[in-house]
Amino acid sequence: MSLDNQSQHTLLPVTSQAGVIDFDFDSKSKEILLVKKGLMGNSSIVSVSVYKGNQSDYLPTVFSGAPHAIAVDWITRNLFWSDLESGTIEVMSMDTDKHYRKILMSNRGRLTDCAAPVALVVDPENGRIYWADKGSKSVEPKIAVMNMDGSLPRTIHSRRTEVPEGLALNKENKDLFWSDSGKGWIMRYTHYGRRVRVFINRLSNPRGLVINNRMLYYVDADYESIFAVALFGPQKKKTLKANLVGLSILKVFYNRHEKGQKNACTSISCDQLCFPTSAKQHQCECGTGYSKTADDATCLASTTFAVVSQSSIIRGIAINARDHEDAMVPIRGYDRVALHVDVHIAGGHIYWCDYDSTGLKGGSSNGVRRIKQDGTGYQEVIQAGIGIKPADGIRGIAVDWIAGNLYFTTSKNYDTYLEVAKLDGSHRLVLVKEKMSSPRAIAVNPIKR
């Protein structure tokens, strides 16, 4: 919808997508990045060409979880997103070959942590990222900010915050606006003075916000309309478009690169990730699964870490690091019911078996999967021939790291099988079939044979 002609706002469809949770755009590649909800509850990020409408997956194996809000740092070329299942804010380099990523914020029980970050907005010139958090039992709903490297988190406002929905930043004076559907208002935070006040109230269900040319645009899901309000002067709203079903998100597409903006990471060469932390300062960081060398100049892959299954998430925890940070990209998702894990060092793969004993997820979760430490190379290893009843499925796995075989136990039709296959799932063979016993966890000692 064009904002240039104030008398006519014609809607031109860019793409037809179902289940869009959030989106942002990259004016360099002329693409819109969409967060789409999948059939099984997982969400993924896809890219759509603005002018051609072509769609492609945007590293779908990396986003194994529930991405919700996204924001593009168009200067440093980093992509930020929040994950509602894990309660994290994460980042990934957009232009490098390996797309290094890092968890910036998670819920560790601190008041400044995030629990359910539903909206993000970035200020790449000054190295800031703002988020709206719906909170949890241990973290209150709030509006917060931190440096782009995850340092110095600070709560901007929590009092009278109920159900925050959308965020918008005025690039001119850095004032921050957010909508609250629980309170039915839009709030304004004045950057210079740090004052919070109600910008416009008596709204029904305000959701997405965006600022353009000293106007604030917002959508109201109940009224199914897009409204505009002047930032300065009387807060009198004007209806731009009505009768739009399912309104939620609002963005203004423009060429972010035409002004040639720079920040503290411009002309800086970091080994993996660069984050501006102020207008003149930056921080070089290593992605998840890597650690800095003694001279802080390069990043090396973590080789010693513990792999832990928490059913809905599999994490790699650094053993030698002081803060025991993540040593691998977390494996998660709506269909994640990880029962057992194992590793194959030579191949660099993490193996696990999902087992849904309830059958609530239709049996689609059951099977053996593998993935690389950096979150790439996802592959279904064993998924067929493991039964269809709720109690059927693979109950234990063990990797023979010398011969390159995978051993696993399968419960199917009241029988239990001990099977072996190559590490990619090929050449599957039944070794033992039992009716009376029900082996679960297994281990192998390939040295003794």
Domain ranges for the chain, please list them: 20-276, 302-434
CATH number of the domain at 20-276, out of 1.10.357.10, 1.20.1250.20, 2.120.10.30, 3.30.1330.10? 2.120.10.30
Kindly report the pTM of this predicted structure: 0.83
Please determine whether the domains at 20-276 and 302-434 fall in the same fold group of CATH. yes
Q: Alpha-carbon distance 396 to 441, whole Å?
A: 5
Q: Which of 204, 192, 200 lies closest to 231 in space, CA to CA? A: 200
> What does CATH list as the number for 302-434?
2.120.10.30
Instruction: Check residue 359 and give its pLDDT.
Output: 63
Whether 444 and 398 have beta carbons less than 8 Å apart is answered as yes
Instruction: Check residue 97 and give its pLDDT.
Output: 74
pLDDT tens string for the chain (449 positions)?
A: 666 655 555 555 666 677 788 999 988 888 889 888 766 567 788 888 887 777 887 765 566 678 899 999 999 999 999 988 788 999 999 887 778 889 898 887 788 899 899 999 999 999 999 999 998 888 899 999 999 999 999 999 998 899 999 999 999 999 999 999 999 999 999 988 889 999 999 999 999 999 998 999 999 999 889 999 999 877 788 888 888 888 888 888 878 876 778 999 998 889 999 999 999 999 999 988 888 887 878 988 887 889 988 888 888 887 776 666 778 888 877 778 889 999 999 998 999 999 887 766 555 678 999 998 877 788 999 988 888 777 788 999 999 999 999 999 998 878 889 999 999 999 999 999 988 777 778 999 998 76
- The DSSP code for 326 is B
SS3 (DSSP) at 141: coil
Tokens encoding 304 = 């010693």
